[in-house]
Structure 1
Amino acid sequence: MLTDEEETSIINYVKYMAERGFPLTRRMLKAFVISIVEKSGRKTLFNMDKGPSNKLLNRHPELSEKLPEQQDKARRRMSNVTVLDQYFKLLMDTVDSLGLTNKPNQIFNCDESGFSGKEKSKEKVLTTKGSHSYQQKVMVHGHITVHMCIAGDGAWSHHCTYVHSW
């Protein structure tokens, strides 16, 4: 019941929102389609209470439904090509300047990860096939933080591991 232009626009919007960490659910997509048809004044064959069938998604095999992984705003903000390129250039320059190129046992990656116990979403979201689906989260109380270090040669270091709960 959508025009080709409306369908292209709504599919592009699904992709746009997924890329920015706010993926749409199937229910949300149906609500958008109902709204477009209502505002156009066109008559429709689908039930306006239940929404359209799944044929719209079937026509777009580049989209799929997945359970989203959680990603906080700070990580999302830093996950772009410019920031990553700058980071890896600085990393390579530092490794070279310190003479660590052939000494992986002297290079450590330290990471701090937080867990709230409610990481998984229960509702699938729409995203581009073959890509990860991230959904921004809001942190609340009851959080556990783990800090671990692993050397470039794969050795784990218990000297810099800690767990903090709050």
Structure 2
Amino acid sequence: MTKAPVETWEAAIAAVAGGLSERKAAKAYGISRGPFHQRINGLVPLEARQGPQLVYITEGADRGVVEMVRYRALHGMCVGYEELRSMLRVAAETAGTRPLADDFPNDKFTQRWLVKHPGLSSRTAQLLDVDRASASTADVVLHYFNNLQSVMKTLALLDKPNRIWNCDETGICPQGRGRRAKECHRFTFSRV
């Protein structure tokens, strides 16, 4: 039998309430007798889908998690994978539709949740040390500080050091203080 809309279930239940037998109502409306019996007795909600009912997070809690992820992303605080898992666990505990396993949500559930919400994207971790080292040339650093100085002048921050916060990464650079090496013999090098 095919998937039936909620209206079909309601009409069949109304027919049974009107005196028709469950078997005849199921046959008349083209629905399976087992799921129909479960819906009549209130064991399964009318809008339940076929298959296992593994609903851990209600629609409202689900929307809340999506809203929280988007809010944090708009404010520059992207959610990490483990943090997303903990948010999903809290939402499932709050909803309390089913008892949770100790490892809930596992990777499979989290990946399926991300697929269910295509508006959210996840980034793979990358090693940025190489890119930072190649991008922090003398010209780039000089341009940055010249730009910073002009911005500080326009905002009148040069004489107010208590309003300047160190929020950049100029102090974290993998290049370090390298020295020039002078070539000695054929296979050896000496630091100057």
- Give yes or no for TM over 0.5: no
What TM-score does the superposition give when structure 2 sets the normalisation length?
Answer: 0.34
Report which structure shows greater RCO (CA 8 Å, sep ≥6).
Answer: 1
More helix by percentage: 2
More strand by percentage: 1
Choose 1 or 2 for highest CA Rg: 2
What TM-score does the superposition give when structure 1 sets the normalisation length?
Answer: 0.39
